[in-house]
Chain A
C-alpha cells in the first residue's frame, strides 16, 4: 500500500497492520514528518504470500508479530522469519534488530543481492522443531509445523523411505480431503498432491491404500499422526552445516568433509550419511568460534580424565558464526529454563554479544498452557495451491487470507487494543471436517462452555495481573529495559533461589544417562526403568520480564518426563569487548579452579561434580588478546558454589592461552593453556612435556595446572593434567 498517509505518525509499538493505518491518530500539536515505509513480502508455509508495509526502521519482532497475528498463531516461539539466498542458504532474522540493518548486513557480507526499492522478501519457517508435537497446545500450531515438514520432505531436507512417504502422504490426504470415498475419489484423485521429491504412480497407489485405513480421523487427528511419525525420522529437526575436520596437521589440504547437525538434543556429526558422532547438550561444556573455526569442548567420558576440545573448519568466518548462533539458540531454547542474558557491562561492547533472545521451550510451554480460546478454524488447502498455480505475486486479497479468519473469537472488548485490531470480520462459513466439530463422546459442548466461562482468565487479564505484582528479581531477565544488575547482585539472587534446588526442564526422554551430573559407570539396571522424575522447576524464580509473556506461577501440569539440568555451556564469541570486568566486582564465594568434570585420579567414580546451574560469559578483545571471563554457578551437595574463571587468549603464532584464576585473596594466578594440534603418530607425552616446559619458561611465576590439547579430528581425545594442584 503506498503511503499516502505519509504525513501521519505511526506508532510502532502498537503493531498495527498497515491496513488499519487510516485509524492512526495524528497528534495535533507535534509537527508530523513523513515516515518511510517499506513493503515486506513473506512467503508463508502454505505457499501464500503475506504483504505488509512497515516502517523502514522496523525491527524483526514487529514483522514477526504481524505474521503470527495474520496466521492466528499464538505458539509462535517455535517459528521465525528467514531470508533465503539463491543458494538456499538460510538466515534467521533477529527480532531485536532493525530489519533494514540486517538486510544491509546480508548484502554486504554474504553477497546477497536485494533489488533496491523492491519489496523485502522473507520466509516464515519453523526454527525449533518440537520433539513432541503432541504437546503443542493448539492444532493450528501443529498445522503450521506439518506444512514446514511437508516442505522439508519435498525439498529433500528430510529423507524418508518409500513406506514413510506413503504413510505421511496418506495422513495429508486424510486431513485435506477427509475420509476416502470411492465415489468422490477417482483413480487419479491424488495426482495434485506432492508427497515426495520423486513421486511415482506406485507411491500414489500406496497412499491411496493407506488413506482408506484412516476413516473417521479429523484433520487435526490426521495431522497429529503425521507429526508423530515425522518426529521419529532421523533428520527431523536437524539443522545441517557443512564443515571439515582436519585429520593431519601437516596436511594442508582440506580435510574430511562432514556435516554438523544442530538439533534439540545436541550436536550430531555425519560423514556422508553415517552418524559418526553425537554430542548431547549435557556433554558439551563450551561452544566457541574463532575465525572460520568452530570449537566444542566436551566433558570427559566415563573412562577419561579430561575434557577435550574438537575443532571444525567452516567455509568462512560467517559460516562459523552462524553455526555458533544456531547452537546457542538451540541450546537455550531446548535446555535452559530461561535464556541467558547477553553480557552486560559498563563499557561498550565491540563484538558479538549475541544471545538467544526469545523464550525457551520451557517458557513457551508454560505460556501456551494458558491458551484458552476455542480452536481457531482454518482451511487446509495447500495441495490445491500447488496445482492451480495460484501463487501469484502475493496481493493480499489472494484466497489464502479469508479462511484464516477465525470464528468464535474471545470477546474482543477484553483484549488489549493491539490484539483486537488485528482481528477481522468473521469470514468464510464452516468447512467440512472443521476442527471445532465437537469430539464424539467425551464431553458435551455445554460442559465445555461452562468450563470456559469458569476459567475467565484470558491472556490479557493474566498479563495485567502479573505486571501489577511486586516485580520479582529476574536473574535471567533479558529485557533490555531492566536496569542491568551487577553480576554479584545477579549471582546472589540466583544463589538464593537456586540453592539446593536442582533446576530442571522437561525434555523428551532422549537425554544423556548422566543425569545429576554423575558419571554413571554401571549400566542402568536391567530392564530400564524410566528416569526418575524429580522436582519440577520452581517457577517463581525464573520469571523473566518478557513483554508478551505471562508466566503461570503454579507448577506446570506436564506429564513426567526425563529430568534434565541446565548445564553450563560457555558461549564464547571470538570478538567481544570488556577487559577487567570481573576484577572490579565484589565476588561471593570464588574458587580458583577450572570447571571440568575431571575424575579423581584414583579412578573412583566422580562424586557428583555438581549441577551447573548457570553460566555467564563475558569476553573482551584487544588487538592481540581476548579475555574471557566465565562465571559459573554450581550446586553441589546442596551448597552453591560460584567460580570465576578468567582466560586471556593471546593470539599469535604459538596460540598461548593464559588462564587466570582469581584466588580468594583477590590476587590473580595465571595458568597456561597451550593450544596445539597433534597428529596421530606423534608422541603425545613428549609433546606435552615440551609444551609444559615451554610454558613454564615463559612465565616464571606461573603454575601449570592444566594443559588442554585440541585434537582436530572426528574422535575426541583426552587431555592431560599438568603439574600443580588437582581439582
Chain B
C-alpha cells in the first residue's frame, strides 16, 4: 500500500520572485526585509540538497504577481500517487495552485483532486502526514471543510483535526523527523498541538523536543534528516545533530525566507 515512509523520487519547487521582498504575507507586525539574492542562493542550496538525496527536481518559474509562490507546499497534498490541490486560505494565494496543478497532472501523471468547494480552505502546511495517518491543523488558513475533503480524498487513513490558535500552520512547529518520530517545538502552542496528536491520533510517535518552534520544521527525505542551520538556531541545530537517531543529518540554511514565515517544508512538494 504505502511505500516506506519518507521515500520520494521527485520534488516540485518554484523560483523566488522579486516581489517577495515587499509583498509576501507576514505574521509579524514589522517587516524584516528579505534579501532576495541571498534568498535565491539559499533556495539553490536547498534544491541541491534534495538533488543530492536522489530526487528529480521540477522547478516552476516564480511569478511576480504571486509573492508567496515559492511556498509550493501549501498548494497541494500528495500521498500514494494522488494529489489534492488545495484552496489556499488566503485569497491572495489562490492563483498559485494553477501552475502546480498543471505540473502534477500533466508532467508527473498524478491522480489530481481539486478542492473547489467554496467554503473549504486548506494550506498544505497544515497537513501533517505521518506515514500512518493525517493530522490537519485547523488554523486561519485551513478549515474543517477543507479537512473533510482531505479525508474523502485519502480514505485509507484517519484524518484527525488539531486546533491551532496561534501560529500560521501546524507544520510550523511540528513535523516528522523520521519514521514515527515527531519534531515538536517547545513553545506552548506546539506542545499543546503535540498533546492533541498524542491523545487523538491512532498511532504512537516518539517526540523530539526542539527548543525553537521555527526549527521544529524539518524534513525526512530518503533516509536523511534535513534540518535548520546552526547559525540560525544554534540550540535547535544541536538538538538535531545530537539526537539519537540512526539517520544522517543535513543542515539547510533558510534565513531569508524565514523572515516571511517560510520554513523548510514550505519550499517543496515531495512526490
Contact = CB atoms under 8 A, between A and B. Distances in A.
Interface of A: 159-164, 167, 229, 232-235, 265, 272-278, 301-303, 509-511, 513, 523-528
B111 A524 contact: no
Interface in B188-231: 194-195, 198-209
Contact of A527 (B158, B178, B194): B178
Across the A-B interface, the 9 shortest Cβ-Cβ residue pairs: A528-B206, A159-B155, A273-B151, A523-B207, A234-B158, A275-B160, A526-B208, A527-B206, A278-B200
A410 to B, nearest CB: 38
A528 B199 contact: no
B182 to A, nearest CB: 9
B4 interface: no
B249 interface: no
Given A163-B80, A527-B180, 6 more contacts: A159-B156, A161-B155, A232-B132, A273-B155, A301-B195, A526-B208
Contacts of B207: 523-524, 526
Nearest to A271: B144
A278 B151 CA distance: 16
Contacts of A232: 1, 132, 156
Given A234-B133, A275-B200, A528-B181, A161 B154 contact: yes
Contact of A526 (B181, B201, B202, B204): B181
B111 A162 contact: yes
A161 B144 contact: no
A202 to B, nearest CB: 10
A274 B82 contact: no
B148 interface: yes
25 contacts: A161-B80, A167-B1, A232-B132, A234-B157, A234-B158, A272-B151, A273-B151, A273-B155, A273-B159, A274-B148, A275-B158, A278-B199, A278-B201, A302-B195, A303-B195, A509-B204, A510-B203, A513-B198, A523-B198, A523-B206, A523-B207, A526-B181, A527-B181, A527-B245, A528-B181
| SS class, residues of chain A in contact with chain B | loop
A301 B200 CA distance: 12
B1 A274 contact: no
A528 B111 CA distance: 35
Contacts of A234: 133, 155-158, 202
B81 interface: yes
A303 B148 CA distance: 29
A188 B205 CA distance: 45
A420 B155 CA distance: 46
A513 B198 CA distance: 8
A35 B181 CA distance: 65
A105 B86 CA distance: 51
B156 A161 contact: yes
Contacts of A278: 160, 199-202
Interface string B142-154: 0010011001101
Contacts of A527: 178, 180-181, 206, 208, 243-245
A526 B244 CA distance: 7
B161 A276 contact: yes
A233 B133 CA distance: 10
Q: Which of A303, A513, A525, A528 has the most CB of B within 10 A?
A: A528
Contacts, number: 101
A303 B191 CA distance: 12
Contacts of A509: 204
A593 B244 CA distance: 44
B133 to A, nearest CB: 7
B119 to A, nearest CB: 13
Nearest to A523: B207
A277 B200 contact: yes
A277 B196 CA distance: 9
Given A161-B80, A275-B200, A278-B160, A525 B151 contact: no
Contacts of A265: 202
Contacts of A162: 82, 111
A681 to B, nearest CB: 18
Nearest to A526: B208
A163 B82 CA distance: 9
Contacts of B198: 513, 523
B200 A510 contact: no
A160 B156 contact: yes
Contacts of B157: 234
A526 B208 CA distance: 6
Contacts of B147: 274
Nearest to A527: B206
B156 A528 contact: no
Contact of B148 (A160, A229, A235, A273): A273
Nearest to B149: A273
Nearest to A236: B156
Contacts of A528: 180-181, 204-206
Nearest to B247: A527
A524 B200 CA distance: 16
A276 B144 CA distance: 10
Nearest to A234: B158
A528 B246 CA distance: 12
Given A161-B80, A302-B195, A525 B206 contact: yes
Contacts of B154: 161
Contact of B81 (A163, A235, A523): A163
Most chain A Cβ neighbours within 10 Å, of B144, B151, B181, B201 = B151
A272 B178 CA distance: 31
Nearest to B136: A274
A154 to B, nearest CB: 15
Could you say which of A302, A509, A523, A525 has the most chain B C-beta atoms within 10 Å of its C-beta? A523
Contacts of A160: 155-156
A234 B156 CA distance: 6
Contact of A523 (B201, B209, B243): B209
Contacts of B148: 272-274
A155 to B, nearest CB: 14
A396 B184 CA distance: 61
B204 A274 contact: no
Interface in B154-178: 154-161, 178
B248 to A, nearest CB: 15
B204 A510 contact: yes
Nearest to B79: A161
Contacts of A277: 200
Contacts of A233: 156
Nearest to B133: A234
Nearest to B244: A527
Contacts of B206: 523-528
Contacts of B1: 163-164, 167, 229, 232
Contacts of B158: 234, 275
A273 B120 CA distance: 14
Contacts of B132: 232
B158 to A, nearest CB: 4
B207 to A, nearest CB: 4
Contacts of B160: 274-276, 278
A278 B152 CA distance: 19
A526 B151 contact: no
A160 B133 CA distance: 14
Interface string B108-143: 000100000000000000000000110010000000
Contacts of A276: 160-161
Contacts of B195: 301-303
A229 B157 CA distance: 12
A301 B199 contact: yes
Contacts of B111: 162
A141 B177 CA distance: 39
Contacts of A229: 1
Nearest to A230: B1
A526 B209 contact: yes
A509 B132 CA distance: 14
B151 A274 contact: yes
A274 B144 contact: yes
Nearest to A263: B202
B81 A274 contact: no
Contacts of B244: 526-527
